[in-house]
Amino acid sequence: MVPCMGMSFYDKLKFNADGLIPAIVQDQKTGRVLMMAWMNRASLEKTVETGKTHFWSRSRQKFWMKGEESGHTQSVKDIAFDCDGDTLLVQVEQTGPACHEGYRSCFFQSVEGASAFKTTEPQLIPPEQIYHKK
């Protein structure tokens, strides 16, 4: 007899018409939401398998590992999915800034008043130092 292995969490997920699911990435220690990016099934499997976040870039149509160029990788601590199975929440330990603009979080700007906005956290590294270093 084949033992019942239970339902896979992959069966609970709904990828969209392009085969993608949004993944919210949160710093496990501080609770800071760092970024949101898209995964396809292959990048999610690679994330589970390696413990490093992998995504699918819609603009570049490319599979990528977070930090592959910058070194600012994310070690996965937990992967949750929501009640509709159409969004992931990934808890990570982040090396360096998560944002390609050199901020800790991509959400470094907030609305102020009716329509103005302000920067809410310091830039940790100038972007040119992130991507053009040997």
CB of 73 to its own copies, least distance (A): 18
* Minimum gap (Å) between residue 132 Cβ and its own copies: 18
**Closer CB to its own copies, residue 84 or residue 134?**
84
> Both tokens of residue 112?
């102020």
Instruction: Report the residue number, 6 or 134, with the smaller CB distance to its own copies.
Output: 6
Instruction: State in angstroms the smallest separation of the CB of 19 from its own copies.
Output: 16
Q: What is the DSSP string of 58-126?
A: TTTTEEEETTTTTS--EEEEEEEE-TTS--EEEEEEE-S-SSTTSBSSS--EEEETTTEEEE-S-BSS-
Nearer to its own copies, 12 or 133 (CB): 12
Per DSSP, what are the bridge partners of residue 75? Answer: 52, 93
Distance separating alpha carbons of residues 6 and 89, to the nearest angstrom: 22
Which positions touch its own copies (CB under 8 A)?
6-10, 12, 22, 24, 26, 30-33, 35-36, 48, 78-84, 87, 89, 99-101, 103, 106-111, 114-117, 120
Of 68 and 119, nearer to its own copies (C-beta) is: 119
Q: How far is the CB of 5 from its own copies (least distance, A)?
A: 8
The dihedral region occupied by 133, where left means phi > 0, alpha psi between -120 and 50, and beta the remainder, is beta
